[in-house]
Amino acid sequence: MKMEHAKNYINGEWVDSESGKTFQSINPANKEEVVGVVSKSGREDIDRAVQAAREAYDKWRLTPAPRRGEILFKAAEILKNKKEILGRLETREMGKVLMEGLGDVQEAIDMAYYMAGEGRRFSGETVPSELPDKDMKSLRVPIGVFALITPWNFPIAIPAWKIFPALICGNTIVFKPSSEVSVCAAKFVEILEEAGIPKGVLNLVHGSGGEVGEYLAGHPGIDAVSFTGSFEIGSRLEGICGNIHRPVVTEMGGKNVILVMEDANLDLAIEGAVWGGFGTSGQRCTAASRVTVHKKVYDTFMERFQTAASQLRLGDGLKKETDMGPVVNETQFHKILNYIDIGKDEGARLIVGGKAHREGECAKGYFIQPTIFGDVAPKMRIAQEEIFGPVVSVIRAEDVEEAIRIANGTPFGLSSAIYTQDVNKTAIAERDLDFGIVYINASTIGAEIHLPFGGIKRSGYGRKEAGGRGGALDTYSRWKVIYRDFSGRLQKAQIDK
Ligand code: NAP
């Protein structure tokens, strides 16, 4: 298959890193396949990208928002035409099955159309003044130059969730994607270039997070940072930005949960647990890595969950028959297997899986069997820490109150779900589950872009991505308040209202 060259994109030019160094992007389903050769940036490349974004800022912020929206609309159309190409590239570069890759691109298409429309709805408030001959209003204005740092698990959608709202609000951007999906990032930026983003407005720099990501986040030419990734890195960036009084948005990990109650429709609950736990090989921030099951249906649930998981077909995500692809890289592969050992040592009961999968062509990649632990105690490490792989912990619960206590008892708070046919239990779950997102009779995955997205506790600071009130527009713009006095009277005479 074709090997790509992913260069940096700085000030409207595709350029090698100044050092000329490169690294390879590998297909996790087949380690022998190099998907792309990528420019390895150093600090000097970041400096140039930040300078280009700074220089482009004034012109872009003064470009009328509806005009900015027209470019995003065009980007949506191009994305639509290239959906299949991008979806296939995602599968090759990070392993998710094609159907999921196409879904990822679709989110970017939806986000582009949505944000294009926001260009005409970029409204503030006009309210009456207490004083005669005065008017006042609030305006949304851009923040400046944004550093956007993204993970590998949604190679197109997460950059789109950040780039489109940042652009519509009038910011310019330096984008540092995860090294694992550099080729996807370059193809995405190519589409925005084709749509007509002016030079310098969107810059792309590849390279290691520790070397260039951190330098970018703390760079004096950056005004704000938006990060999605692990709690470890996100909290580190919060510290760096906090010390220099720089706004930072962090969307981080999860230890999401499905609650299965005694009256649940088990067909739905099993399907939700399988796709929540093993979709994207368990590598979604919203993956259902815990399931609490009411004691009355625990045995039936476990039997059916085990059967469903053992029927999943592992393989290259480009093949039609594949249900689950590999995990993203060698580090994750070993980390997940290590967690499986931890689970066994902690005394959890291994129900299915628990090993690397090396049959046939899978021997060439990083495949791990879908793994279920039963009889898990809520405080075990496998039930507390984000594993980010196809490993699900099942915990027995007495009733809805206990299930909710277990659900809330981790440091994370991104996504949760309850399966029940009792309307009262849905109301209790809606009220008491301490998560950014609650699903009712649906799995923990599958956000829509026109409601805000985000978690609490170690998952993030609240709702800052995607749309709706409190969503991305509030993240990528700030309020400016204007008071205008057209009375011509001296201020002092107006003090006594
Ligand atoms: P990660 O290791 O935290 O990396 C995220 C991004 O940060 C990558 O671009 C990475 O670059 C960069 N980075 C690494 N070290 C850095 C540093 N010291 N300073 C600045 N940037 C640095 O996360 P990941 O493995 O890519 O993604 C998986 C994590 O993302 C999981 O925890 C998952 O739950 C979370 N996630 C959260 C959401 C959400 O919306 N809440 C969505 C998706 C994923 P390199 O790749 O080059 O190291």
Query: 210: Cβ below 6 Å to ligand 1?
Result: yes
Q: Is 423 exposed, middle or buried (0-12, 13-18, 19+ CB in 10 A)?
A: exposed
**Cα 232 to ligand 1 centroid, rounded to whole Å:** 9
| Residue whose CA is at the smallest distance from ligand 1 atom 42 | 285
Query: Is residue 89 over pLDDT 80?
Result: yes
Q: Per-residue DSSP letters for 139-150?
A: EEEE-SEEEEE-
| Residue whose CA is at the smallest distance from ligand 1 atom 18 | 210
Query: 233: Cβ below 6 Å to ligand 1?
Result: yes
Told to judge if 401 belongs to the known catalytic residues of this protein, a careful annotator would answer: no
Query: Is residue 497 over pLDDT 60?
Result: no
Query: 25: Cβ below 6 Å to ligand 1?
Result: no
**Cα 204 to ligand 1 centroid, rounded to whole Å:** 16
**Residue 287 alpha carbon, nearest atom of ligand 1:** 34
Query: Is residue 41 over pLDDT 90?
Result: yes
Q: What is the per-residue pLDDT for 461?
A: 84
**Cα 497 to ligand 1 centroid, rounded to whole Å:** 54
Q: What is the per-residue pLDDT for 179?
A: 98
Cα dihedral 317, 323, 329, 331 in deg (nearest 10): 180
Q: Per-residue DSSP letters for 240-288?
A: HHHHTT--EEEE-----EEEE-TT--HHHHHHHHHHHHHGGGG-STT--
Told to judge if 184 belongs to the known catalytic residues of this protein, a careful annotator would answer: no
Report helix, strand and coil shares of the chain as percent, to nearest 5. Answer: 40, 25, 35
Mean pLDDT, to the nearest integer, of 66-78?
98
For residue 459, give both structure tokens: 């998952």
Query: Is residue 367 over pLDDT 80?
Result: yes
Residue 218: band (very low, low, confident or very high) from pLDDT cuts 50, 70, 90 = very high
**Nearby residues of 51 by Cβ (< 8 Å), 6 or more positions away:** 221
**Cα 209 to ligand 1 centroid, rounded to whole Å:** 8
**Residue 285 alpha carbon, nearest atom of ligand 1:** 34
Query: Is residue 495 over pLDDT 90?
Result: no
Query: Is residue 267 over pLDDT 60?
Result: yes
Q: What is the per-residue pLDDT for 496?
A: 62
Q: What is the per-residue pLDDT for 493?
A: 67
**Nearby residues of 312 by Cβ (< 8 Å), 6 or more positions away:** 274, 278, 323, 324, 370
Query: 212: Cβ below 6 Å to ligand 1?
Result: no
Helix boundaries (H) for 145-265 = 157-168, 182-195, 214-217, 231-243
For the chain, what is the mean pLDDT? Answer: 97
Q: What is the per-residue pLDDT for 465?
A: 87
Query: 229: Cβ below 6 Å to ligand 1?
Result: yes
Q: What is the largest CA-CA distance in the chain?
A: 87
Mean pLDDT, to the nearest integer, of 377-405?
98
**Nearby residues of 91 by Cβ (< 8 Å), 6 or more positions away:** 29, 97, 98, 101, 316, 317, 318, 325
Query: 444: Cβ below 6 Å to ligand 1?
Result: no
pLDDT tens digits for 333-354? 999 999 999 999 999 999 999 9
Mean pLDDT, to the nearest integer, of 436-462?
95
For residue 420, give both structure tokens: 């029940």
Mean pLDDT, to the nearest integer, of 364-382?
98
Residue with tokens 């009277």: 489
Mean pLDDT, to the nearest integer, of 47-57?
98
For residue 305, give both structure tokens: 């969950």
Q: What is the per-residue pLDDT for 463?
A: 76
pLDDT tens digits for 148-197? 999 999 999 999 999 999 999 999 999 999 999 999 999 999 999 999 99
Please report, for residues 270, 348, 397, 445, 464, the alpha-carbon distance to residue 257 in angstroms, rounded to integers and kept in the order given.
13, 17, 13, 11, 21
Q: What is the per-residue pLDDT for 248?
A: 96
Give the angle 237-103-29 at the CA atoms, nearest 5°: 75
Helix boundaries (H) for 347-399 = 381-384
Query: 179: Cβ below 6 Å to ligand 1?
Result: yes
Considering 90, 100, 180, 251, which one is annotated as catalytic?
251
Considering 169, 241, 285, 362, which one is annotated as catalytic?
285
Query: Is residue 133 over pLDDT 80?
Result: yes
pLDDT tens digits for 275-322? 999 999 999 999 999 999 999 999 999 999 999 999 999 999 999 999
